[in-house]
């Protein structure tokens, strides 16, 4: 198990039931705020759980497709909002069957390599799902959406992907876990998004050729009923085995920092979608 996971205190922020008014731009601003506090040593290591309703989180590369406006119309017509995020990766589907988890570590005492941070999340999910009999593989699922070396899959079907964000000596490792619902339906949405955005043009950047059948939820993989609440409770249980869990909100100072990072996210999205008519 990664030594990063064993902490005296885990500060936990549960935003898994914020509802449809919880803006995706806010979510990434909160992680940046926590990175700043954890990285400076003002806060212990933190875990944040979050859910967004029918939102596609886009990577910077996605916003550079030659037919971005057409691609965004695919999302809008399907009833999805979209946000250009500030962490790595490509488009990811979020809805009420997807639980997101951020683990935030500090580099104040020593540097944390990219792979070490990723492995900490892999080890955490292993401890989380092990008691439920889920054993997963860790390697890229090339025809999934947002493919990466740390994709989590069972039998070639991907149910989770991991990204990172680093701010002021704070390291946020972020994972989306497809808990329930249809992985192929989510995959089809992003397949159509890229087909409309690229339209067979040659592009400098490479976009995934998505096969919806390689995406799945834990419910589809296991054949049993799974809910976000079940995984939320398992996250808390796992954290309690690693340190003292302290539920938390943003402090007054962190709220000020959040305002700064939220404004940055607003400007990022205004720039990414400037001049488009959806």
Catalytic residue positions, numbered: 146
- Backbone Cα Rg of the chain: 18
Given CA atoms 182, 186, 189, 194 in this order, what sign does their dihedral have? negative
Please spell the DSSP secondary structure of 137-185, one letter per residue.
EES--TTSSS--TT-EEETTEEEEEEEEEEETTEEEEEEEEE-SS-HHH
Please state at what angle helix 252-272 crosses helix 24-40, rounded to 10 degrees. Answer: 130
Question: How many other CB atoms sit within 10 Å of the CB of residue 56?
Answer: 26
List the structure tokens of 124. 């955490």
List the structure tokens of 67. 């037919």
């Amino acid at each position: 198990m990664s030594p990063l996971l064993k902490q005296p205190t885990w500060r936990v922020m549960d935003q898994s039931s914020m509802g449809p008014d919880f803006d995706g731009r806010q979510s990434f601003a909160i992680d940046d705020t926590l990175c700043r506090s954890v990285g400076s040593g003002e806060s212990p290591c933190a875990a944040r759980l979050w859910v967004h309703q029918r939102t596609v989180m886009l990577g910077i590369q996605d916003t550079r497709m030659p037919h971005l406006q057409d691609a965004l119309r695919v999302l809008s017509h399907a009833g999805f909002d979209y946000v250009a995020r500030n962490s790595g990766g490509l488009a990811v589907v979020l809805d009420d069957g997807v639980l997101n988890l951020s683990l935030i570590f500090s580099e104040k005492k020593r540097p944390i390599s990219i792979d070490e941070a990723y492995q900490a999340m892999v080890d955490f999910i292993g401890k989380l799902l092990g008691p439920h009999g889920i054993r997963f593989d860790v390697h890229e699922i090339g025809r999934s959406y947002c493919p990466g070396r740390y994709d989590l899959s069972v039998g070639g079907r991907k149910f989770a992907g991991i990204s990172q964000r680093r701010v002021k000596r704070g390291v946020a490792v972020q994972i989306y876990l497809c808990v329930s619902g249809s992985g192929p339906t989510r995959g089809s949405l992003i397949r159509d998004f890229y087909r409309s955005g690229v339209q067979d043009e040659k592009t400098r950047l490479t976009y995934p050729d998505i096969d919806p059948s390689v995406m799945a939820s834990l419910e589809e993989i296991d054949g049993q009923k799974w809910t976000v609440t079940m995984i939320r409770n398992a996250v808390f249980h796992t954290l309690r085995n690693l340190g003292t869990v302290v539920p938390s909100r943003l402090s007054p100072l962190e709220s000020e920092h959040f305002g700064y990072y939220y404004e940055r996210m607003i400007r990022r999205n205004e720039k990414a979608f400037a001049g488009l008519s959806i």
